[in-house]
Structure 1
Amino acid sequence: MCAYILVAEDDKKQAGLIHRYLEHEKHTVTVVHDGRAALEEVRRQEPDLLILDVMMPKTDGLDVVRILRRETDLPVLLLTARSTEDDLLLGLDLGADDYMTKPYSPRELMARVRTLLRRTRHAGLPDGSFHVGGLTVDPIRYEVRQEDRLIDCTPGEFQILAAMAAEPNRVFTRPQLLAAIHGSGRYITDRTVDVHIMNLRKKIEADPRQPAHLLTVFGVGYKLTDSPASTQGPHRAG
């Protein structure tokens, strides 16, 4: 699973350590030390994955994610010294696919890299398109359409939607959805799924505050349904 990976980290010692570990796993690596250089490099040659420090000079990592999400669905793994839940969820809300808080284990970082690359390359996704709730989810083309409109999804959002569309009306717990997007949910909180669901509702629901198809089943998790919400059993929109 060799890939081209861009590392944006202003701490040159940390950047060098990440570089060595990635090269050991046979990846091609470019390192930059500020957010502006990260944007320029992505636009010059888009990598398979961006490992992005949050606190960087010129343009910080969150602004880099905000800008990139208007241009590409490139997978982004944030590295952050900010450990509060609000800071971490802001990164996910802007479109990052995963995050790690400093200090971190290089071996765990490599495990996250492998997971993101597998996910992006569609490993484990079933063949064929799924049609549910007015959506067409195509794992082969990596597309989501609502009638003729193409829905722009991050890799994490796509994996959640593909897993749910493959089994309409099934109630998925948060750990099950974490497993769909990360292979294992032991490193991150259930709030990761909640943020992805909230962002998906903004993209696919006519009224995200009163979702008709991507529903919360109170006390259990979420489901994707063809039927209007009003005909379903008890649920909440939150």
Structure 2
Amino acid sequence: MSKGREAGIDEDQCQQGQDGGSWLWDRPVGEPRATLILAHGAGAPMDSAFMQEMAQLLAARGIAVLRFEFAYMAARRLDGKKRPPNPQAKLLEQWRAVYLQVRQQVAGPLAIGGKSMGGRMASLLADELNVDALVCLGYPFYAVGKPEKPRVAHLAELQTPTLIIQGERDALGNRQAVAGYNLSESVRLHWLVAGDHDLKPLKSSGFTHQQHLLSAADAVAAFLCR
């Protein structure tokens, strides 16, 4: 993945959130077309290569992106010790706090979402918070090897306009398995050929990881600015 920034993007701006952690903003030059709060997945921080690249690509397309870290990940940053995610109730509590603070700071459309677990937690709150849109990158439809135990009940009733970017061979939600789930009409799926949970395709597919990330960014920007 590219380590540089596309032309026209301001440098990340670090902000201290009321949740006690640091936030990272990627802002487009000029007025943003929309704002997306993007949460990280269970095992990687807010400045992982994937999160960094997506934030930069979206900012280049006019989307302001705010990244934050859940408490367990912020603690790992301080002492280097790996921890499991906080209990779901605590994750949701932090999501609510971040959203309310950001809503006070920005005008215009405000969406929430995230990578894997971060997106799933956002999906549990989207209707409650009455957000403008939900974006999930690599949604964890089920635990590895357990497609018969999907975590999708709330997705059948979801009212918030939702975009899920998913690799066809995602170990947490492949195309064949997801086709059998009952999802709300508000949920739109954007499949990436032979992509895995990080949207990385098989070499034999003829696509590169960068092409899939660009495709994902294009789809998200078009969805948020529809």
TM-score range, shorter chain: 0.3 to 0.5
Structure number with higher helix proportion: 1
Q: Which has the higher contact order (CA 8 A, sep 6+)?
A: 2
TM-score (norm 1): 0.40
Normalised by the size of structure 2, how large is the TM-score?
A: 0.42
